[in-house]
Amino acid sequence: MRLFATASMIVLMFGVAEPAIAGGIQVEGAWARASIGTERPGVAYMKIRNNGQGADRLIGAKTPVAKHAMVHESLIRDGVRKMRQAENIEIAPGGTAVLEPGGLHLMLSILQKRLMEGDAFPLTLTFEHAGEVRIYVTVAGMGAKQMPQHHHDHHDDPPHDDHQDHHGHDE
């Protein structure tokens, strides 16, 4: 639990985490939707850019918030929306893979904790050539369609305590 609190504090202090880069792979804009509980799977989205000279493939993912993290694909077949596990995602040199609602996404199965809006959690993506890329995923609201927009104009402001008045005194 300490790790989740630390990750959340980092994101709250500095806004959206900077892109993670390893071996020519750049991951940015990672976000997930809040979950109702732990019974239903969670889902994460992000952009993965390959700035390297050769193609690379996303071959795995892991996070302490779920027992399994697998790439899935939403598609419409015969007028019916379906979801299926996707094979490894290949990203050409100079290319970008976009994991977004209604398309490719990272399914987080058997959640170990509820995903709460405003929290963040660690996620490790494994690439065939670049190796592991560690990122933090920001949790948006349950019905979010895109990454939460943070407007942190007061990075140095002390945390607000609802039990103190405006002068720092206990109420």
The reply to whether 71 falls in a domain is: yes
Overall number of domains in the chain: 1
The reply to whether 92 falls in a domain is: yes
Q: Quick one: pLDDT at residue 139? A: 95
Q: Quick one: pLDDT at residue 108? A: 96
Which of 47, 54, 55, 57 has its CA nearest to residue 26?
Answer: 47
The reply to whether 155 falls in a domain is: no
CA–CA separation, 46 vs 63, rounded Å?
Answer: 15
Determine contact, residues 122/63, Cβ cutoff 8 Å.
yes
Domain of 83? 2-140
How many residues are there in the chain? 171
Angle at 16 between CA 71 and CA 62, to 5 degrees: 30
What are the pLDDT tens digits along the chain (171 aa)? Answer: 444 444 444 443 334 456 777 889 999 999 999 998 888 999 999 999 999 999 999 999 999 999 999 998 887 788 887 777 888 899 999 999 999 998 999 999 999 999 999 999 999 999 999 999 999 999 998 876 667 665 333 333 333 333 334 344 444
The reply to whether 86 falls in a domain is: yes
Q: Which amino acid is at 158?
A: P
Q: Quick one: pLDDT at residue 134? A: 96
Question: Which residue stretches of the chain are H helix?
Answer: 2-14
Q: Quick one: pLDDT at residue 73? A: 86
- Cα torsion through 21, 111, 146, 55, rounded to 10: 30
Beta strand pairing status for 25-33 and 131-140?
A: parallel
Determine contact, residues 41/33, Cβ cutoff 8 Å.
no
Q: Quick one: pLDDT at residue 17? A: 52
Which of 159, 126, 154, 122 has its CA nearest to residue 138?
Answer: 122
The reply to whether 152 falls in a domain is: no
Cβ atoms < 10 Å from Cβ of 99: 24
Express each pLDDT in 4-39 by its tens digit. Answer: 444 444 443 334 456 777 889 999 999 999 998 888
The reply to whether 91 falls in a domain is: yes
Residue bearing tokens 């040199």: 93
Cβ atoms < 10 Å from Cβ of 147: 19
The reply to whether 165 falls in a domain is: no
Question: CATH no. for residue 48?
Answer: 2.60.40.1890
The reply to whether 154 falls in a domain is: no
